[in-house]
Chain A
């Protein structure tokens, strides 16, 4: 059974601080997805990591993928209130990643950034 585990599941932090969200998965997939969800809203794609060692950055968020460790991280630098949201990682149910199978999601990290 494919498992995707995120930690922490809940994170409260102050503006200006740095923190990292971790995503462990059990498949041999070499791609991983990060999504953001605001309360009551849909999921918005943040990053698609396509291979081992992939690193992507957008503003204060940086995601990386280590397929050998089956680990992805989402790092937040100098957090601001607007980054408060729930963040999900997900992997393809088909490890080849190029197909049409669905995604398996982690349970999400609920992030609150306080002034």
Chain B
């Protein structure tokens, strides 16, 4: 099991460029998430998908769009990158059912917007 995988690991963009961050999980989880981590801020939820076919905004959705392509894959798109979007982006997944229901995180994507 690879768990949660993310591509790319690193990316440098110029202001105004677009890109898509990819995320996939092989744990048959229902729910998937995108967070951003900024120094001293902890992690903040951008968007999430409770189940295949649904997406919802989190705390900081402005400037982002998402697609739940299928049960395994959840992508995050920056249409017109801004320097304020320089951050580390983490994808996560969880079963979404009762029990421990903890979130498992991918390795992260370090994005710099110049």
A contact residues vs B (CB 8 Å cutoff): 4, 9, 31, 33, 35, 41-45, 48, 50, 88, 90, 93, 97-108
Contacts and interface: CB of A to CB of B under 8 A. Distances in A.
Contacts, number: 62
Majority secondary structure, A binding face: loop
Contacts of A50: 100
Interface of B: 30-31, 33, 35, 40-45, 48, 50-51, 58-59, 90, 94, 96-98, 100-108
Contact of B96 (A31, A99, A103): A99
Nearest to B29: A100
A62 B108 CA distance: 27
A102 B33 contact: yes
Contacts of A35: 105
B90 A100 contact: no
